Every structure is written in structure tokens, then in C-alpha cells.
Amino acid sequence: MKRIALLGMPNTGKSTLFNRISGASARVGNWPGITVDLMSAKILIGGHIAELIDLPGIYDLHGFSDDEQVVRHFLANNAVDLVIVLLNSSQIDRQLSLVLQIKKLNLPAVLALNMADEAKQSGITIDTNSLAKDLQMPVMQISAKYGDGLPKAIQAATQIINQNNPASDPQLISKLLEDDNQIEHEMESLIQHHVQIPATLTDNTTDKIDQILLHKWFGLPIFFAAMFVLFQFIFTAGKPLQDGLAWLLALVRSSLLEPLFTSSPAWLHGLMLDGIYNGVATVAAFVPIIVLFFLVMSMVEDSGYLSRAAFLMDALMAKMGLDGRGFVMMLMGFGCNVPALMGTRIMRSRPMRLLTMLVIPLSLCSARLQVFIFMITALFTAKQAPIILFSLYVMSFFTMFLTAVLFQGRYKNSEPFILELPPYRFPTARQIILRGWQEVKHFLIRASKFIVIGVVLVWALTNFPSNVPPASIGTFAGQIGALFAPLLDPLGINNQLAIALIFGFVAKEIVVGALAVIYGLQGDALMAQMATQIDWVQAMSFMLFTLIYTPCLSTIATLKSESKSSAFMWLSIAWSLALAWVVSFIFYQSARWLGY
Amino acid sequence: MQFLSQLQIGQRAIISAIEAEESLFHRLSALGFRVGKPLRIIRRANFNGPLHVRLGTTDVILRSAEASRIQISALSI
């Protein structure tokens, strides 16, 4: 099989081109020599089946940033038959260096100049024929977004592939990568001969929009308003979708699965329906939110606004060892941690990405909000309720800030904060939909097994041994709760609440349901019963613990699949448990000491 | 001697030297920061935030820490 690598600088529309060529057939794969996933797709080209690989966007092959290392290691470990280099036509004056570096490596290459339309608008003219002659490789102008010029580029690629030349020798490449210089002079002379650039750019729409969106005082309020509207959209549009999905899943259960398992033994019935099927339902519940989130995110990202958000928020985020892009993800975490963690992929420096991923699970997501509203209604007056809820949000921000400050030394960001501000662009619907679909696929493949196993495990813990009522003190979960009593008693968390916390490990959505099972009561009766059993100090301590400890199995599964490190996943679990314990302990003990 | 971090908004300047370790130097040069290139500052973010710089056809944002590694000579007009 032939192998074609797609290479380009960031913001050149590389992924758009990749998606256009590969359609929905793309998959995520591992490659020798590198630790991150790369997208690849099998395509038919000139009678050969070829594998097209989307390499990360890089500025050059020197290999100082994480992404540059990835590309170097890829080329030094994998033979390739062709490199398609994609450049932004309107920035050819500096991007050409990448082509020259590839040429120095003697890699067979085709140069595609993207965004031909933008370059034309700016008055930049490129003589592709003469440039091709000097570069000794095919050069053509294309538009990855609309597909113009693409057939010609594919044709040129086909010709090279059909020559059946031997593929690149990774060892030789790794040697050649060591020495590359004097490219700069070559570049200057090429630009002078084949490209005409006007002194000032004629298109200033972006400038006008920037004057408003990056305004000294209005920029930030506009940014917050925009984020609020977008997240509001995700959750208002997501809620009916989630409800519909839940209804459908309940229908399948009651009309198909229940009759199917009526005659089977109780344990099998429980395992299949309360274990595995509930696990599947837990996974499914996230799908609408992930789709909507990435629809919105790819819109924000492709439009060029994300880099602007980084500009606006950087002064504050730099103090926490993070950058402005992380802030968008942190905000998203208040809706749902899972897509927020997946979204950190936009951060190219691994230490900073890990730090952001450590912080996100501490944001008070909508599932935790349900638990708090239930507890607050049960134990506080209507007057106190808003203050209590507000203090939980403050606490959430505080723990995020504390975590970032404490761990920023460990996850030291080595990459300088220098970002390009691309001009504003309209993303196409095709681009956005493909992205949403790929992210859901990624989540389902990576997270579903983990989540289903976890749900089954908690089901088993709360249902065995089978001679005691489910979720009672006599079950394994109750025994574990009792085992941890010496640790949880100083927090005012009794055995029943401890079992609810074990349930909460799966998902916060089921905590209230779990309390109903544990106490054998529903709704108002349950609230009344709880109000007699625990006082407000215990309730607050329980809520603080719920806020800070591990959000849910799906978050853990996502942490593991996104960081590709079990150690990091365990660190996140351990840190959040320890922090939850300390915060609840300090609160409970000082409240008691003060006489409450 | 003047650094990019000290340049006024809207003022034009020519890069006269870049003093940075290799990785930063390469990142800067890949984005178009080379000796002899003209540039100007479009805006600054509040609270000592990043600078928005325009070099030729490229707009770049960078923190003042990085901007203070770039020596410039301001043009009078």
C-alpha cells in the first residue's frame, strides 16, 4: 500500500483538505515512533490503494514544539511515497520554507497552494508554472473549502504515485533532518521571482471586525456574551435530544428487553438490564451534547474567533500557567466535563493540555447541579438556597484556580505563546458536520467499554450479596461504605450517603436516584426523611465532597483516552479525592467547632 | 536600543535583532519575525496582556515577555 502524508502550517486548511479527500472514512490511528493519534484514511488513487495521513500543522521541521517532534518522528519512522504540502497562498512569502525543507529531504512532493481566493482578493499573484519549474515539483492553486483545483492536484499526485518510485527511507530522512540551513536565502529569491505581494493588503474586513471583537473594553464582555449564548444553545438544544434519547432507551427496555429477560434468573436480569444496558444508556446520554458541542466548537475554531479569545483572556490565564484557549474549555466544563476534556486537543503543548485537563473536572457541571438542587431544596430554605448554590460555584472556581497554581510547576509549559491570528472565515456545513461525527465516533470507541464495565461493577457492588435489599448497608457497597467510615465520619458523611457517593462515581445524574433506592422513598418523602436524618452542616459537607471528587466514569474514561496515560488518570482521581476530603473536613470540623 | 514590547500602538518599526534561544528563535522566524522585516503593533490586550502585531501579510499575537526579545528601530512616520 502507498502512503501519502499531508503536511502544512497551522491554519492553512489542512484538515479541511483532508476531510474533503477522505470523506467520512477517516479513522484515528497509532503510528510507530510517535505517541499521539493521527487521522488517516484509505483512498483510491491511480489504481493504488493509498493511506492518507493528516500530520499536525507545524511551522517548520526543526522539532522544538511537540507537534514538530511528532512530524519529525513520523517521517523518521515511516516510509512515505508522497508528501502533499499545503500552504496558505496569501502567506506564501514565509510558508515556502516548509516546502524547501521537504525538498531538502528528497521526499517526492506536490505543492498545493490553498485559499487561492483569499490571495486573489489581497492582490497576490503567484506564477505557479515558473515556481513549479524552479521547485521541480508540481504546484497548483486550490481551495480546500470549495474543492476548486482539487482534481488537478489529485492528478499530479496520481502521476507521482504511478511512477512507483521506492518510498522514502526513514533512516536517511532522520539523518537529513539533522542538517538544514540556508533555506532562508533560497526562499527570498524564489518569492522575489515568482510572487507579487502588494505593500498593504486590500482586504480589511477582518480589521473592521477585530476593531469591535478585540475592543479594549468591549472585547471581553462580547466574548462572555458570545460564550453564554453558545453554551445556552448547546444545552437548550441538547436537553430535548437527551430526553428523547432517554425516552427511546426506556422504551426499548420496557417493551423489548424486559419481556426478553422475564423468565431468566434474577441475577442475569439485573446484570443485563441494570448493569450492561444502563451502561450503554449512560454512554448514549452524552452523544447529543458531544455532537452539539463540536458543531459549535468547530464553528468557533474555524471562524478564527478562538485565537481572539486567547488574546482577550491571556493576561489572566498566564498567571495560572494556562493560556487563553484553555479558558474556553474551562467554561465548557461547567456544562459538561466530557466534551470540554476532548476539546483540549486544540492546545498543542502537552504539559499545558494536561494541566487544563486536571482543572476541568473540578468545574460544577450540569449533572452535579441536579444533586445540589435536590439537597438544597431538602435542607435549606428558599431564601438560603441561592446563597448556598452561589457558594458552591465560588468553591468550584477556587478549587480550579488552586489546582492550576499548585500543579503549574509540574506541568511547565515550554512553548512560547505566539499565535497567528487568521482572518475571519466562514466554515462550511460539511466541515462542521464531519467534525461532529468524528468526535462522537472517537468518544464511542474509546470510552464505551470502560463506562459499561464501570456501571456493571457498581451494579454488582450494590446488588450483592443477593440475600440483602439492593443498595442497603448489607451489600458490598454498604460494606465498603462501612470500611471507609473512619475516613468519612469526620466529614459528617454517614453510611447511606457513602453508598450514594459510590453510585456517584458512575454518574452524578444517578445520585438522587440512588438515594431514593437507599432510603426506599421517593420525592418529597425522601426529602423529608433526609431532613430528619442529617443536618445542614452534613448536607453542605456532602455537597462539597460531591462537587470536588471524581465527576463521573465518562470523565475518567475521557481523561484516560485523551491523555493516553493511566498514571495521569489516577493522579486526577487521587488529587480530586484528596482535595474533596480536605475541603469537606475543614468545612465540617470548623462548622462544628463554631457550634453549628 | 528599543524593544518590540516598548513600541507604541500604530507605530511602524524594522526588526534589528532577535535575541532568543534556538526554539523561540525558530518559532519567531517561522512566523515571519526576521531581521530587516517591517512590522507594527495593532493593539495591546488590557492588564499587560499580549500584543497584536502585523508583519507583512501575517497577524500574530505574542506576550510581552517574548516581544522584549525582539529589538527594533522605530520609523519616524
- Smallest Cα–Cα separation from A89: which of A128, A56, A59, A45? A128
- Smallest Cα–Cα separation from A203: which of A426, A424, A428, A427? A424
The identity of residue B62, as a single letter, is: L
User: DSSP 3-state assignment of A88?
Assistant: strand
Residues A548-571 have a mean pLDDT of: 91
Instruction: Give the pLDDT of residue A24.
Output: 64
Residues recorded for chain A:
596
Percent residues over pLDDT 70 in chain A: 95
* Tally of domains within chain B: 1
- Smallest Cα–Cα separation from A270: which of A258, A287, A280, A281? A258
Q: Element (H or E) spanning A3, and its range?
A: strand A2-8
Instruction: Give the pLDDT of residue A483.
Output: 87
**pLDDT tens figures, B19-48:** 888 778 878 888 888 888 889 899 998 888
Q: How far is B30 from chain A (nearest CA, A)?
A: 6
Q: What fold is seen in the domain A2-203? A: Rossmann fold (3.40.50)
Handedness of CA B46, B48, B50, B55 (dihedral sign): positive
* CATH number for the domain harbouring residue B20: 2.30.30.90
Whether A417 sits inside 8 A of B66 (CB atoms) is yes
User: DSSP 3-state assignment of A530?
Assistant: helix
**pLDDT tens figures, A415-459:** 778 888 888 888 778 878 887 787 788 778 767 777 778 778 878
B29's CB contacts (< 8 A; 6+ apart) are A184, B18
Residue A294 has pLDDT above 70, yes or no: yes
How many angstroms separate the CA atoms of A106 and A85, rounded?
A: 13
State which residues form the domain around B18.
Answer: 2-74
Q: How far is B7 from chain A (nearest CA, A)?
A: 17
Do residues B4 and B72 make contact, with C-beta atoms less than 8 angstroms apart?
Answer: yes
Whether A93 sits inside 8 A of B63 (CB atoms) is no
Composition of chain B by helix, strand, coil, percent to 5: 20, 40, 40
How many angstroms separate the CA atoms of A143 and A390, rounded?
A: 49
How many angstroms separate the CA atoms of A12 and A113, rounded?
A: 9
Distance (Å) of CA A44 to CA A2, A83, A160, A413, A438: 10, 16, 14, 41, 21
- Smallest Cα–Cα separation from A67: which of A75, A79, A57, A77? A57
Residue A309 has pLDDT above 70, yes or no: yes
Segments making up each domain of chain A, as ranges? 2-203, 212-363+384-413+431-448, 449-593
Banded model confidence at residue A202, pLDDT cuts 50, 70, 90: low
Laid out side by side, the sheet with A82-88 consists of: A27-29, A38-45, A48-54, A2-8, A82-88, A109-114, A139-141
Mean pLDDT of chain A: 84
Q: How far is B1 from chain A (nearest CA, A)?
A: 23
Nearest to B57 among A90, A416, A418 (CB): A90
Whether A59 sits inside 8 A of B31 (CB atoms) is yes
A177's CB contacts (< 8 A; 6+ apart) are A61, A63, A72, A75, A76, A105
Mark out chain A residues that contact chain B at CB-CB < 8 A. 9, 59-60, 62, 64-65, 90-91, 93-94, 97, 122, 124, 184, 197, 201, 206, 210, 214, 216-217, 219-220, 307, 310-312, 314-316, 318, 414-423
Do residues A357 and A562 make contact, with C-beta atoms less than 8 angstroms apart?
Answer: yes
Q: What is the largest CA-CA distance in chain B?
A: 33
